[in-house]
Amino acid sequence: MLEETVFWPNGSLTGEGLWHQASGDTGAVICHPHPQMGGSMHNNVVETVRDEMIAAGCSTLRFNFRGVGESTGHYDEGRGEKQDLLSACTFAKSRGVEKIFLVGYSFGAWICCRLLKDRPRVASFVLLISPPVRYFEFEWKGLENTVEHMICGDQDMFCDIAALKEKAELIGAKLTVLRGVDHFYFGQEDRLTEHLRRYISEKKA
């Protein structure tokens, strides 16, 4: 698969990503896990999402939050990272994407929710993978009819499954719980692939 390294203006900073151009008007913007815990766009879950999106005929943008790789700036505890995500979505739209799949994994899921509170129409479809509700405070009120689907493993030490089920019902999102899977999906990527494929095909139909 062909990806090109791309850069774009992000206020006074510069964002870095890897872009795959498809022929249609649908694309995915994929958010990586915690920058201070080794998270980057070169992550097994991020790459699994990219692979399935490309297989479905979507353009893809995986990118580094500020202070990671060649994205300039410093970690900003979720404040600046929200702007990073908005700038990434703006870049995708500048490349012809009209319908965005917004996918956030772990820390990236938290940033997606923070942006959606302010920009509920920034994406056409929203998927959260393993939102770390035990680690970050998620503000779910106001996310009704924005987040459609969440996927989490039942062995995830950063996610309270009971609490997540309650929040999924609150905002009208579907929750898929994968048995025997932890937060990191190492060696379990195929389990995630199965559900990603189904989710993408349903939304693109």
Domain definitions of the chain by residue range: 4-204
Residue 14's DSSP bridge partners are: 9
- How would you write 71-137 as a 3-class SS string? CCCCCCCCHHHHHHHHHHHHHHHHCCCCEEEEEEECHHHHHHHHHHHHCCCCCCEEEEECCCCCCCC
0.75 surpassed by pTM: yes
| Placement of tokens 């870095």 in the chain | 16
pLDDT tens series, the chain, 205 aa = 699 999 999 999 999 999 999 999 999 999 999 999 999 999 999 999 999 999 999 999 999 999 999 999 999 999 999 999 999 999 999 999 999 999 999 999 999 999 999 999 999 999 999 999 999 999 999 999 999 999 999 999 999 999 999 999 999 999 999 999 999 999 999 999 999 999 999 998 7
Cα(57)–Cα(26) distance, rounded to whole angstroms?
8
Please give the class, per CATH, of domain 4-204.
Answer: alpha beta
Cα(195)–Cα(192) distance, rounded to whole angstroms?
5
